[in-house]
Amino acid sequence: MIEIRPYLKSDRIELIKLLRLNTPNYFSPDEESDFISYLDSEIEDYFVVQEDSKIIGSGGINYFPKEKIARISWDIIHPNKQGKGIGKKLTLHRIQYIKKNSVIELINVRTSQLAYKFYEKIGFKLIRIKKDYWAKDFDLYLMSLDVKD
Protein backbone atom coordinates (compact mmCIF):
# COMPACT_ATOMS: atom_id res chain seq x y z
CA MET A 1 0.00 0.00 0.00
CA ILE A 2 1.28 3.46 -0.99
CA GLU A 3 1.26 6.18 1.67
CA ILE A 4 2.35 9.83 1.37
CA ARG A 5 3.29 11.45 4.65
CA PRO A 6 5.27 14.45 5.92
CA TYR A 7 9.07 14.10 6.16
CA LEU A 8 10.63 13.21 9.51
CA LYS A 9 14.28 13.91 10.41
CA SER A 10 14.64 10.15 10.92
CA ASP A 11 14.04 9.72 7.13
CA ARG A 12 17.23 11.63 6.25
CA ILE A 13 19.62 8.68 5.77
CA GLU A 14 17.13 6.71 3.64
CA LEU A 15 16.50 9.75 1.44
CA ILE A 16 20.21 10.27 0.84
CA LYS A 17 20.42 6.59 -0.17
CA LEU A 18 17.47 7.14 -2.51
CA LEU A 19 19.23 10.12 -4.13
CA ARG A 20 22.36 8.00 -4.62
CA LEU A 21 20.30 5.31 -6.38
CA ASN A 22 19.27 8.01 -8.88
CA THR A 23 22.83 9.30 -9.39
CA PRO A 24 24.13 9.78 -12.07
CA ASN A 25 21.01 8.89 -14.10
CA TYR A 26 18.91 11.81 -12.82
CA PHE A 27 21.20 13.75 -10.47
CA SER A 28 24.80 14.84 -10.71
CA PRO A 29 27.05 13.57 -7.90
CA ASP A 30 27.68 17.26 -7.16
CA GLU A 31 24.04 17.67 -6.10
CA GLU A 32 24.24 15.41 -3.03
CA SER A 33 25.65 18.15 -0.78
CA ASP A 34 22.86 20.49 -1.98
CA PHE A 35 20.26 17.87 -1.09
CA ILE A 36 21.74 17.34 2.36
CA SER A 37 21.73 21.10 2.94
CA TYR A 38 18.11 21.20 1.77
CA LEU A 39 17.10 18.45 4.20
CA ASP A 40 18.98 20.08 7.06
CA SER A 41 17.92 23.70 6.65
CA GLU A 42 15.73 24.53 3.64
CA ILE A 43 12.66 22.30 3.98
CA GLU A 44 9.31 24.04 4.14
CA ASP A 45 7.01 21.15 3.21
CA TYR A 46 8.54 17.83 2.27
CA PHE A 47 6.76 14.53 1.73
CA VAL A 48 7.88 10.92 1.78
CA VAL A 49 6.26 8.10 -0.20
CA GLN A 50 6.21 4.72 1.53
CA GLU A 51 5.18 1.32 0.30
CA ASP A 52 4.78 -1.29 3.03
CA SER A 53 6.71 1.01 5.43
CA LYS A 54 9.70 1.28 3.01
CA ILE A 55 10.61 4.72 1.64
CA ILE A 56 10.36 4.68 -2.16
CA GLY A 57 10.09 8.38 -2.96
CA SER A 58 10.08 11.95 -1.76
CA GLY A 59 9.45 15.49 -2.90
CA GLY A 60 9.10 18.95 -1.47
CA ILE A 61 7.50 22.35 -1.78
CA ASN A 62 9.06 25.74 -1.17
CA TYR A 63 7.09 28.97 -1.05
CA PHE A 64 7.69 32.45 -2.39
CA PRO A 65 4.55 34.30 -1.15
CA LYS A 66 5.58 37.76 -2.37
CA GLU A 67 5.76 36.36 -5.90
CA LYS A 68 2.66 34.15 -5.30
CA ILE A 69 4.73 31.12 -6.34
CA ALA A 70 5.31 27.68 -4.89
CA ARG A 71 8.15 25.51 -6.16
CA ILE A 72 8.09 21.74 -6.32
CA SER A 73 11.54 20.54 -5.33
CA TRP A 74 13.78 17.50 -4.95
CA ASP A 75 11.53 14.84 -6.46
CA ILE A 76 13.13 11.44 -6.07
CA ILE A 77 11.60 8.03 -6.82
CA HIS A 78 13.34 4.68 -6.30
CA PRO A 79 14.60 3.45 -9.71
CA ASN A 80 12.65 0.17 -9.37
CA LYS A 81 9.42 2.13 -8.79
CA GLN A 82 9.74 4.63 -11.64
CA GLY A 83 7.14 4.45 -14.41
CA LYS A 84 4.49 3.02 -12.05
CA GLY A 85 2.57 6.23 -11.30
CA ILE A 86 4.19 6.92 -7.93
CA GLY A 87 5.88 10.15 -9.04
CA LYS A 88 2.63 11.32 -10.58
CA LYS A 89 0.73 10.53 -7.39
CA LEU A 90 3.30 12.45 -5.31
CA THR A 91 3.23 15.44 -7.68
CA LEU A 92 -0.58 15.58 -7.76
CA HIS A 93 -0.63 15.30 -3.96
CA ARG A 94 1.59 18.37 -3.72
CA ILE A 95 -0.40 20.31 -6.31
CA GLN A 96 -3.57 19.71 -4.29
CA TYR A 97 -1.74 20.67 -1.10
CA ILE A 98 -0.53 23.91 -2.71
CA LYS A 99 -4.02 24.76 -3.99
CA LYS A 100 -5.18 25.04 -0.35
CA ASN A 101 -2.90 28.08 -0.01
CA SER A 102 -4.95 30.99 -1.40
CA VAL A 103 -1.86 33.18 -1.84
CA ILE A 104 -0.21 30.89 -4.41
CA GLU A 105 -1.11 31.42 -8.09
CA LEU A 106 1.72 29.60 -9.87
CA ILE A 107 3.68 26.39 -9.26
CA ASN A 108 7.21 26.19 -10.66
CA VAL A 109 9.45 23.21 -11.01
CA ARG A 110 13.14 23.38 -11.83
CA THR A 111 14.08 20.09 -13.45
CA SER A 112 16.41 18.80 -16.14
CA GLN A 113 16.19 17.50 -19.69
CA LEU A 114 15.99 14.05 -18.12
CA ALA A 115 12.64 14.60 -16.36
CA TYR A 116 10.87 17.57 -17.94
CA LYS A 117 8.56 15.39 -20.07
CA PHE A 118 7.15 13.89 -16.85
CA TYR A 119 6.04 17.36 -15.68
CA GLU A 120 4.82 18.26 -19.17
CA LYS A 121 2.38 15.32 -19.05
CA ILE A 122 0.96 16.69 -15.78
CA GLY A 123 0.38 20.10 -17.38
CA PHE A 124 3.52 22.12 -16.62
CA LYS A 125 4.65 24.43 -19.43
CA LEU A 126 8.29 24.96 -20.32
CA ILE A 127 9.43 28.53 -19.58
CA ARG A 128 13.20 28.47 -20.03
CA ILE A 129 16.22 26.20 -20.54
CA LYS A 130 19.71 26.95 -19.18
CA LYS A 131 22.52 24.67 -20.35
CA ASP A 132 24.73 22.92 -17.74
CA TYR A 133 22.90 24.64 -14.86
CA TRP A 134 22.96 21.82 -12.28
CA ALA A 135 26.27 20.38 -13.48
CA LYS A 136 27.88 19.54 -16.82
CA ASP A 137 25.22 17.89 -19.04
CA PHE A 138 22.46 18.60 -16.48
CA ASP A 139 20.45 21.48 -17.95
CA LEU A 140 17.85 23.55 -16.10
CA TYR A 141 14.32 23.25 -17.44
CA LEU A 142 12.13 25.82 -15.67
CA MET A 143 8.46 24.89 -15.93
CA SER A 144 5.23 26.42 -14.56
CA LEU A 145 1.67 25.40 -13.81
CA ASP A 146 -1.11 27.93 -13.19
CA VAL A 147 -2.91 26.99 -9.97
CA LYS A 148 -6.09 28.72 -11.12
CA ASP A 149 -6.51 26.46 -14.18
Domain range summary for the chain, segments of one domain joined by +: 2-146
Global pTM value: 0.92
Per-residue model confidence as pLDDT tens for the chain (149 residues): 899 999 999 999 999 999 999 999 888 898 999 999 999 999 999 999 999 999 999 999 999 999 999 999 999 999 999 999 999 999 999 999 999 999 999 999 999 888 899 999 999 999 999 998 877 888 889 999 999 76
DSSP class of residue 40?
A: I
* Spatial separation of the C-alpha atoms in residues 33 and 142, rounded to whole Å: 22
Give the span between the Cα atoms of 48 and 41, in whole angstroms.
Answer: 17
Residue 140 near residue 130 (C-beta atoms within 8 A) = yes
The DSSP bridge pattern shows strands 106-111 and 69-77 to be: parallel
DSSP-based three-state secondary structure for 137? coil
CATH superfamily, domain at 2-146: Gcn5-related N-acetyltransferase (GNAT) (3.40.630.30)
